[in-house]
Amino acid sequence: MQPDTFLDRIGRFLARRLVQESSGYEPYTPSDPETLRRTLEPGDILLIEGNQRISAAIKYLTQSTWSHSALYVGDALPDPDDGTERRRLIEVNLGEGCVAVPLSKYRTYNTRICRASGLTPEDREQVVRFMIERLGLKYDLKNIFDMLRYFMPAPPVPVRWRRRMIAFGSGDPTRAICSSMIAEAYGQIRYPILPEITRAPGRASAESSYSRSEILHIRHHSLYTPRDFDLSPYFRIVKPTLEYGFDYRSVTWAEAADKAAD
């Protein structure tokens, strides 16, 4: 076991500060863990609107609501011996590394389900197994410069440079806050995330030179962010409220309730 260095201590201190939750966060549509469990399928990606200090920086730099992502593995992990809730999500957290957490962790957050279209059972199992095999993976936090940038929630840089700020350094803290591990899991089965760069008829293309440059940059460095799964044309957005027979005629509006009370 390597000795604890000064940079190790500084790194852990910065990580603790960055994952502190902000006060006053209120979700628009909080998630119900039971409804999520019934809707999610193994291999689904759950996007989360986080409320940590680092979340504000990621949302600003990526121009997105989503600052965090986790992969749903269903019942692939055993029930805990202490009788607590089964861990059905695998995620990567700054300071913790790759961990498994229960769905209830995000009961008070805005979330979105992204589902790979047409995924075969064999490939779904491979994606889940890839994440499970990396449980316990730790990240080196000695590169404090990789973390210091996230203490500026709104750095004064042009929009086209903001994703590059996430790529800056490309050390372990960068990989710990990005969605690169989930992207890597899907890369193992050759599943696309962002559109292919082509102008062939009938295939997805990036029309602007900036878009093509951005896609090349992401591919080259494997620095996917939560937003990329949301924007991907190959992932379907699944909304739990619509999966179980939503009927707009059954909605009780405030004025109708007031009239009934009178």
Assigned token pair, 253:
């509006």
Provide the pLDDT confidence category of residue 115 given band limits of 50, 70 and 90: very high
Examine residue 187 and state whether it is found in any structural domain, yes or no: yes
Judged against a pLDDT cut of 90, whether residue 251 lies above it is answered with no
Place of tokens 């059972």: 121
Residue 221 pLDDT: 43
Examine residue 144 and state whether it is found in any structural domain, yes or no: yes
Summarize pLDDT for 83-97 with one digit per residue, the tens: 899 999 999 887 788
Provide the pLDDT confidence category of residue 73 given band limits of 50, 70 and 90: very high
Summarize pLDDT for 145-168 with one digit per residue, the tens: 565 566 666 666 665 655 555 654
Examine residue 30 and state whether it is found in any structural domain, yes or no: yes
Examine residue 84 and state whether it is found in any structural domain, yes or no: yes
Q: What is the mean pLDDT of the chain?
A: 77
Kindly give, in sequence order, each residue whose CB lies less than 8 Å from that of residue 111, ignoring residues fewer than 6 positions away: 31, 36, 46, 47, 48, 49
Cα torsion angle, 137, 50, 115, 88, sign: positive
Examine residue 141 and state whether it is found in any structural domain, yes or no: yes
The CATH number for 254's domain is 3.90.1720.10
The pLDDT > 90 percentage for the chain reads 29
Examine residue 36 and state whether it is found in any structural domain, yes or no: yes
Provide the pLDDT confidence category of residue 219 given band limits of 50, 70 and 90: low
Phi-psi region at 60: left, alpha or beta (left = phi > 0; alpha = psi -120 to 50):
alpha
Cα torsion angle, 204, 44, 222, 10, sign: positive
Closest by alpha carbon to 65, among 246, 237, 240?
237
Examine residue 37 and state whether it is found in any structural domain, yes or no: yes
Structural domain including 78 reads 6-261
Indicate the number of domains in the chain: 1
Q: Is the pTM of the predicted complex or chain greater than 0.85?
A: no
Question: What number of CA atoms fall less than 13 Å from residue 19's CA on the CB side?
Answer: 16
Examine residue 1 and state whether it is found in any structural domain, yes or no: no
Provide the pLDDT confidence category of residue 129 given band limits of 50, 70 and 90: very high
Q: Please give the C-alpha separations between residue 243 and each of 41, 63, 141, in angstroms, as whole numbers.
A: 13, 28, 42
